[in-house]
Each structure stands twice: as C-alpha cells, then as structure tokens.
Structure 1
Amino acid sequence: MSNSHPDEQSSGQWTNAETSRPYEEWSQASTRHDRQLSGLTQHPDAVQSQSHDPDEDPMKLQKWSTRPGDHVEHIGEHGDAGGAPLDTNTTTSSSQGLQFARSKLLGLHPHAPIAEEHDATKYSSLWWSKVRLALREPFAEFFGVMILVLFGDGSVAQVLLGANDKTAPGGNGYGGYQSISWGWAFPVYFLAQFLGGLVAAGIIYGNYVNDINAFEGHGVRTVPPSPTATAGIFCTYPKAYMTKASMFFSEFIASAILMFVIFALKDDTNNGVSQGGGNWFPLGLFFLIFGIGACFGVETGYAINLARDFGPRLMSYALGYGHEVFSAGGYYFW
C-alpha cells in the first residue's frame, strides 16, 4: 500500500485507501486554504470543515468553494455530502449548495453540470445569480416555451389580422415537444412550460389588442367557428365538420410522428446519427414541426404539445373569450 502524498500522485485524484492522511484532516486543510484565499484566515483550531445538512432547505444556496486546486467534498447518491472528495479539475459542478438544490428540487443527478466558471465571476455571490444557476432547467423551459408561443401565435395574428381573412383556421402555431421522462420533479417543469405559454399569450394580446378590436369589434371576443373569431390566435380549434374520433386521430398521428423522430434523432446508437443529434438537432426539429404543420395542421391546428396549448388557452379565457375556449368542438381541448 502506497503512502505517497496526494500532491505526488500523477493523476491528482484523492483516494482514501492510498493515503495515510485521514479524510477529516484533508477537509480541514481545504477549508483553511479556501478561507486564506478569501481573506478570512483563522487559527487552525477554529476552522471546522464544511458540511451540508441533508435536511437543510435546498433554497439556502450557500457558496461552496470550487476554485481550481480547492478541496470539494463528494456529493452522495442522494445529494448529500459524504464519501471521497471530487477532483475539481474533472467535475463540472459549481458548488455543493447549488448541486444539492438542483438534485432536490429538479430530480437531477447530483453531478448534473452547471457552469463551473460561475464562482469566478464578480456576481457569483448575488442571490439572483445563485437562483438562476440552480434553476437553469426550469428557466430554460419557461423562456423556450414563451419564445416558441410568441413566434407561433404572433405569426397567426399577422396572417389573420393583417390579411383580414375572416375564414382562416385558428391556432396553427408551432408546437414544441413533450418529454416522457416524467418523474417526481415533473410538476416543476410543467409549471415552467405552462407559465411560459401563459406569459407569451398575454404579450401577444397586449401587442395586437387594437387590431383585434378593429377586426372583431371593440370588446367583442369570439371563438371558432365564428367567421370573425380571433381566439385561434392563441390556441388550436378543430374544423366544424370534424368528429371527435377524427380530432383524436389527427392529433395522435401528428404527436406520434413528433415523438418517433425526436427519439430517432436523440438515439446515440442510431446508425448515421451523431451523438444526441449533434448541433443539427434544433434545425432538424424545426423541419420536423414545419412538416407536421404542413401535412396535419388544417384539421385541428396540430396542438401536439399540452404546454403550448393549455397556457395560451387559459390566458384567452381570462382575457374575455369565455368558456367556449374549452367547450368548442365538443370539448376538443380535453
């Protein structure tokens, strides 16, 4: 058994079985080193190793040192601190506090990557900076759906209101995708996507409210199949002649194609497809949704995404379109 000093190991990795110095000593030495760098040097006896209480509120995002060369405790399988420390030259974590919050709130792996350079910026100690970093996935879902609905609903508004086409079908906006990896953290992502669609519909309405008043009449708000309906700007509605079975089948085909192609593009073992679709995946997704809209959009407006449809539908209800936004088409919404 080798008793060589860890600094002499070529790999730079810490292994409890190959060092004579106990874990607690290394933890205290690391803490002293971190405080020396921050100008808070104390007597060695007064320094205690940092620890993370598993029961602690995950939103208490304390700063944990991850500068190159610092000692970082290993985050356990369930987000708790313990075990052998990580090598900060290979880990992609920014701080244990942020990792703990992400694993507890979002159901992510404790080592899910976050920006390591965060600790090196002058804004790393700001509360909002820590929250933004810990909740980056929900924020990505929120802004992604919001921008998606802004483009989708905005394009429908331009066509319907700009061309004065009073028979145009409603709701042919672009949808996104639904992840079937639903775990206990699913409500967090659903809420983020729902709020993104809700906010986007409100922005579109605020931008086009004067055009809507000129098109339908001041204070008048109707849903399809009314010839002057503008509710289709915000969400999807079926043609008046569609049966419930036809509505279901149309949406089922479009959604099945969407998920099938996404899985094919993201399958790392799929012959001829680069890992995770590579940098071309967003472009491929664009052409996929464009094709679905061109081939299956006329009958129901191809919602294909609950988050894209439900948030704007609820906003249109709140803006005065009435309960018909839910009951139209024989409760097609459900």
Structure 2
Amino acid sequence: MRSRRSSLVGDRSRRSSMTADTPLPTAADIAVPIELSLPHCSSAASSANNSQVDLTGHHIYLPDHAAGSSSQGRLYQLSQVAPHEPVTGGVIKDTKTGKHYAKRPVTKPAYSLGHTTGAPVVAAQLNRSTGRIGLGHAFPTEEQTRQYKAEKAARKSNNGSGTRSPSIVGSAGAHRASMDVNTMEGRTQLFSQLRELIHEEFAKANRGQTEELRKHVQQANLEQRQHFEDHIEDVKEIIATEPPQTTQSQEEIRSEQDVSEKAKETGTAATDITTLDSDQKPEYGRKGSEGTLFVDQHGEVVKDPEPVERGYSPDEESDDADFAFPNRWAAIRYKFREPFAEFLGCFMLMVFGNGINCQVTLSALYDPTAPKGDYLSISFGWGVGVAMGVWVAGGISGGMINPAVTIALAIFRKFPWKKVPVYIVAQILGCLVGSLCVYGLYVNPIRIVDPGQTETTAALFTTYPAEFLRQPSTRMSSFYNEFFASAILLIVILAIGDSSNTPPPDGLAPLVLLWLVWGLGACLGWQTAYAVNPARDLGPRLMLYIVGYSPDLLWTFNAWYWLWTPIIAVCSGAIMGCLIYDGLIYTGGDSPLNKKSKKGAAALGPGSKDKMPAAISPA
C-alpha cells in the first residue's frame, strides 16, 4: 500500500513538472476556421463593415464536429483573443475577418420572449430598446412555424466541413430581436401591455352588459305600460256599466280617470288611494304624515310612514295629531323622547359626580386613615359622569345635559327656542332624581358624620365657595371663576361640533368632554367647586331641601349665592364663550355673528349644527 501511494505521488509530480515545462498553445495553433455571418451584412458591400465588428460577448450556435452531427450545435459566448495569446479551451477563427475568438459554453442563457431555444423564426427586424413586446415572440403563427421549419431543414442540409455559418442569436435568419423581459424595462412594458389588454376586455364586457341591461329595462317598461293600459280599460268598462251617480261621485270618477291617465303617462306603479273601495282603504295613523299612499302591482296598499321612534315631528304644524302606536306609552314616549333623553343623561351625570364626592369625602370623614380617593379622583369622576351622560342622550337630544349649553346653542346655533324650557326642566329633574338616588345610597355614613345636616354634607351634592370668597369684597371672584370656566367649556363644545375645524370622529365627542371636565376640575375647580352647569347645582339643591336641609343653608346663604354664581355667572360665561369662538373662528351661517349685513351680501353655509355636541335633531 505504501509503495502504491509513493508511485501516485511520483506520477503527480512528473505531470506537474511537464505542465510547468510545456508552454500553453496559442490561439492560432488550435483555432478552428469558421465563417461567421452577421445580420444584414451578408453581401460583399458589407464585408468591410464586418471586418470592423468585434463579436466579443455575442452568443452563437457552433456545430459539434467531434460528434459528426449536422445539428445546430451548442450555444457559446465569444471573447476576442490575440493570435499569439496562450489559451486553454476551444478557439475559432473568423475566415472573413481573420479574428480569433475563445468560446465558452453557455449553460443557462438569459432568455427573452423571442430568444427561447427552439422558438419559431419570425420576420427580421432591427434591434430595439423600446416599443411594444409582440405576443408573436412567444406564441407563433402558422406562417412563422413553417418558416422556422424550412430554415431548420436548410441548416441540416448544409454539409460543409467546418465552414458552415452558425446562427447568431438575434440575426436576420434566426430569432427576432426583441425587448428582453429579464430587464426592468422589458417587464414594465409587458405588464403595461397586459393591463391595457385586460382593460380593453373589461370595457367590451361592460358595454355588452350595459346594452343587455338597457334592453331588459325597456322591455320591463313596455310590459308595465301595457299592464296599466289594460287596467285603465277595465276601469272604463266598469264605469260604463254602472248607473249614473251623484255630482260628487262624478267628480270622484273624473279624479280617478285623471290619476289613471297620469299613471299611464309617467309609467309608474302608483294609483291614488281614491281608486280603492271604502273597505280597502287603510287606517291612517296620522293624516298627512305617512306620505303618499299607493297601490302596488299586486293590488296591495303600500305606504312609507315616518318611523314612530324618531324624537321629533316632521310636521311641526300638527303636533296635536294622533299617531298609530302599539300602545299609549309608545305615543307618550314619541312626544317626549328628547326630554326623556336629557333627563336620563343628567341622571347619569349625578350618579358619577355626586357619587365620587360622597365616596371620597365621607370615607375621609369616617376614617381619616383610609380615604377612598383624592381631589383628582373627584375631577375624574365628574368627567366620567359627563361622558356617560352625553353617550346616553347624545344620539337622541344632542346630549346637552346643561341648561347653559342649551341656551347658548339656541342663541348661536338656531336650536329651537320652543324646546329650551322643556329641555331645562328635564335637566333639572334628572339632576334632582340622580342626586336623590345617590343620597339614599350614602344616607348611613352621611348621618354618622353629619347628623345635623350642615354644609359639610350639603357640599357633597351642591356647590359652595371657598371660605375666603364669602365676603362682600370677594364675591365677584366667585362670579368670575364660574364665568371663566363656563366660557372655556362652551369654546371647546363649539369646536367639537364645528365640521370646518377638527371635530372628533362620530361617537367620540363624549370622550373629549371627559377630558375637558376633568381638566376644568383639576385646574379651575378649587374655589367654587366648578358648577359650570345650573342644573347640576339647582337639582341637588332642591333634593337637599326635600330631605330636610335648612333653607338658610340652601337659598339665602351668602346673599343668594345659588342664583348669581351657579346660574347667572354660568349662563353668561357660556354666551361669552360662544361669542369668542364665533367671532374668531366659526364661519357657519347659523351664527348671528355671520348674518348678512345687507341684502346683496354673500351668505355663508348653514354650518354644522347637527353635531352639537353629539347630534342635535333637526329643528
């Protein structure tokens, strides 16, 4: 085994020394003479141009001489070499130009649509870099296939020894020059052509469908017209056979004929309700509220009434008319749905607002070592109460839950004045009932910490100023505190409902109000407990009077504080906030500040009153 390994090593060393000593053959020594033909240069006049052409980088098919086959051969890439240059591998010599080329087999050529091996031969064209890619490059016609077979047979019949012209890729006698789809430009052009083709096919299909649909519509109109003509003829025959009637009946007949003629002209499927017999006429829920009653093609009475669950009447002049409701309570709810919504919204406001006041304060008074919250908790609770109240009532009544907001919107956003008193009463009652429920919830700790019903527990439900604002010289500061906070409140509310500003998405206005009230409480609520809502103060104040708190504590305290601060200051501040926002920003025509100053002046649009602050019902 060792001797065999030694002999192998010796053979390798001898071959290496022979290779190092023996020089490589030059290109001229091993070159195979072949006549290379270039596209459009086969004539003698172009031989001079051929001599100047370098075929380096070209892919050509060379015959396989070793196998003795007359087939097209393999694909090679050429690179020019000098005659005296040592080379390894195959070399060919162009007999026309005398140039030598080293050939390298191409195993994986980058094909385009027209360069695929065995692709059909098409008509010769000049090389191009732009233009449409013909589908014929990939999908040949019969003529192209016959031409390719003929040229292939001609190449097989060529029996020359070493001088047969190979086919050059992209030449006039082989494959058509085209745009390479392997390039970005080629793919972009191909995709563009495919999109155009798809669009053309869809356009043709749509045109066909449109014509077909038009035919169906015309046919349906003709059938409908024929149906009404037959119906009119039947009515005329009935009228002719009936005995004469009174003058009033003759008028009804003429009215019926006029309606029938009108239906014939318009081609509609509607017939006036007077054409029905008395036993066929439907029961009216409200005269004039259901719209036009008509009879369909099957002879059934069809009507499209206003939905009874809507919170406002489409006919404001006939509010006293009776609707068709399933029961009496449904009729009452229809008439008072908006006030009911305001009542429930204010109820939710008191549940969270007075609830957080009682929990934080009473827990601290009962056990100072374990208070259940702090001042920021109170601000957050009131913010949640406002958000919940607006979410409950916003889609029905607008979610105002504040008399100051209702009055301000009636002045600056054309909210109906006839609804203002009803809204305010509903808001005060909602706050009264809500605070009463919270009082019943915390009545036990209230009696423990304040059995005498003093201001300590009264301040849990209504508002009182700080000690340093109870002198005659400082009362104006209490007024200004509520005035300023209410102005800020209305500025933000108007911005929320201004579609020309940046209003929140539908349904998210209560979330903005939550942060607004929380901020007002955290920043401006210490001195006067930030009432910013007359109903929020007056409703619980009435509740405290009902459960036995002193009138001096509730009404005559600090020179009638309850009237000129939580009510007058808040309403005045709300109006001032509207004046500021409309004077500086708002461009809607529903604001009194944007009314036309003279007859020929331009008029602004109606604005966005339907989003105040969530969705006010149309007036």
The count of residues paired between Structure 1 and Structure 2 equals 254
Residue 233 of structure 1 deviates from its aligned partner by 1.2
Return the structure number with greater relative CO, CA threshold 8 A, min gap 6.
1
Answering whether residue 481 of structure 2 is matched by residue 250 of structure 1, we say: yes
SS at match of 2:555: helix
Aligned equivalents of 1:152, 1:96: Cα separation in 2: 31
The 8 Å contact of residues 161 and 211 in structure 1, kept in 2 or not, is answered as yes
Match of 1:238 among 456, 461, 465: 465
The 8 Å contact of residues 339 and 422 in structure 2, kept in 1 or not, is answered as yes
The 8 Å contact of residues 481 and 528 in structure 2, kept in 1 or not, is answered as yes
Residue 47 of structure 1 deviates from its aligned partner by 3.6
2:490 match:
259
Match of 1:291 among 519, 536, 542: 519
The 8 Å contact of residues 98 and 130 in structure 1, kept in 2 or not, is answered as no
Q: Which residue identity lines up with residue 135 of structure 1 in the other structure?
A: F
Residue 186 of structure 1 deviates from its aligned partner by 1.2
Superposed CA RMSD in Å reads 4.0
Cα gap change, 1:137/1:237 in structure 2, threshold over 3 Å: closer, same or farther?
A: same
1:222 match:
454
The 8 Å contact of residues 309 and 334 in structure 2, kept in 1 or not, is answered as no
Cα gap change, 1:98/1:250 in structure 2, threshold over 3 Å: closer, same or farther?
A: closer
Pairing 1:183-198 to 2, within 5 Å after superposition: 183-198=417-432
Answering whether residue 594 of structure 2 is matched by residue 330 of structure 1, we say: no
Residue 326 of structure 1 deviates from its aligned partner by 2.0
TM-score by length of 2: 0.36
TM-score by length of 1: 0.64
Q: Which residue identity lines up with residue 252 of structure 1 in the other structure?
A: F
Any idea what the Cα deviations from partners look like across 1:221-254, whole Å, max 9, x if unmatched?
A: 111xxxxx10011111110111211001110111
1:311 match:
539
Q: Which residue identity lines up with residue 542 of structure 2 in the other structure?
A: L
Answering whether residue 136 of structure 2 is matched by residue 136 of structure 1, we say: no
1:115 match:
none
1:60 match:
none
Aligned equivalents of 2:262, 2:318: Cα separation in 1: 38
Residue 333 of structure 1 deviates from its aligned partner by 1.0
Answering whether residue 26 of structure 2 is matched by residue 26 of structure 1, we say: no
The 8 Å contact of residues 237 and 329 in structure 1, kept in 2 or not, is answered as no
Structure richer in strand, relative to its length: 2
Aligned equivalents of 2:284, 2:482: Cα separation in 1: 54
SS at match of 1:279: coil
The 8 Å contact of residues 463 and 537 in structure 2, kept in 1 or not, is answered as yes
Answering whether residue 283 of structure 2 is matched by residue 71 of structure 1, we say: no
The 8 Å contact of residues 555 and 562 in structure 2, kept in 1 or not, is answered as yes
SS at match of 1:235: coil
SS at match of 2:507: helix
Pairing 1:122-201 to 2, within 5 Å after superposition: 125-164=326-365, 174=382, 177=402, 178-179=405-406, 180-182=408-410, 183-201=417-435
Aligned equivalents of 1:103, 1:253: Cα separation in 2: 38
Cα gap change, 1:100/1:211 in structure 2, threshold over 3 Å: closer, same or farther?
A: same
Answering whether residue 344 of structure 2 is matched by residue 94 of structure 1, we say: no
Aligned equivalents of 1:52, 1:297: Cα separation in 2: 51
Any idea what the Cα deviations from partners look like across 1:65-106, whole Å, max 9, x if unmatched?
A: 69xxx839xxxxxxxxxxxxxx94xx8x31499854984699
The 8 Å contact of residues 240 and 329 in structure 1, kept in 2 or not, is answered as no
Cα gap change, 1:163/1:105 in structure 2, threshold over 3 Å: closer, same or farther?
A: farther
SS at match of 1:263: helix
Aligned equivalents of 1:49, 1:164: Cα separation in 2: 65
Aligned equivalents of 1:198, 1:159: Cα separation in 2: 21
| Identical positions, percent | 33
Residue 150 of structure 1 deviates from its aligned partner by 1.1
2:236 match:
none
Residue 28 of structure 1 deviates from its aligned partner by 4.0
The 8 Å contact of residues 251 and 300 in structure 1, kept in 2 or not, is answered as yes
Q: Which moved more, 1:150-159 or 1:311-320?
A: 311-320
1:58 match:
none
Q: Which moved more, 1:176-185 or 1:187-196?
A: 176-185
Name stretches of at least 5 consecutive residues in structure 2 with no aligned partner: 1-220, 226-257, 265-269, 295-302, 369-373, 387-400, 411-416, 564-619
Residue 187 of structure 1 deviates from its aligned partner by 1.2
The 8 Å contact of residues 273 and 281 in structure 2, kept in 1 or not, is answered as no
Aligned equivalents of 2:521, 2:315: Cα separation in 1: 36
Q: Which residue identity lines up with residue 94 of structure 1 in the other structure?
A: P
| Runs of 4+ off more than 6 Å | none
Cα gap change, 1:286/1:28 in structure 2, threshold over 3 Å: closer, same or farther?
A: farther
Aligned equivalents of 2:549, 2:420: Cα separation in 1: 30
Any idea what the Cα deviations from partners look like across 1:265-294, whole Å, max 9, x if unmatched?
A: 100111x335xx522211001100110010
Aligned equivalents of 1:97, 1:302: Cα separation in 2: 35
Residue 322 of structure 1 deviates from its aligned partner by 1.1
Aligned equivalents of 1:328, 1:287: Cα separation in 2: 32
Aligned equivalents of 1:302, 1:145: Cα separation in 2: 16
Pairing 1:208-219 to 2, within 5 Å after superposition: 208-217=442-451
Aligned equivalents of 1:234, 1:48: Cα separation in 2: 54
Residue 46 of structure 1 deviates from its aligned partner by 7.2
Larger radius of gyration: 2
Q: Which residue identity lines up with residue 246 of structure 1 in the other structure?
A: S
Residue 328 of structure 1 deviates from its aligned partner by 2.6
Q: Which residue identity lines up with residue 233 of structure 1 in the other structure?
A: L
Residue 128 of structure 1 deviates from its aligned partner by 1.5
Aligned equivalents of 1:222, 1:299: Cα separation in 2: 19
Residue 200 of structure 1 deviates from its aligned partner by 0.9
Match of 1:280 among 496, 503, 508: 508
Q: Which residue identity lines up with residue 238 of structure 1 in the other structure?
A: P
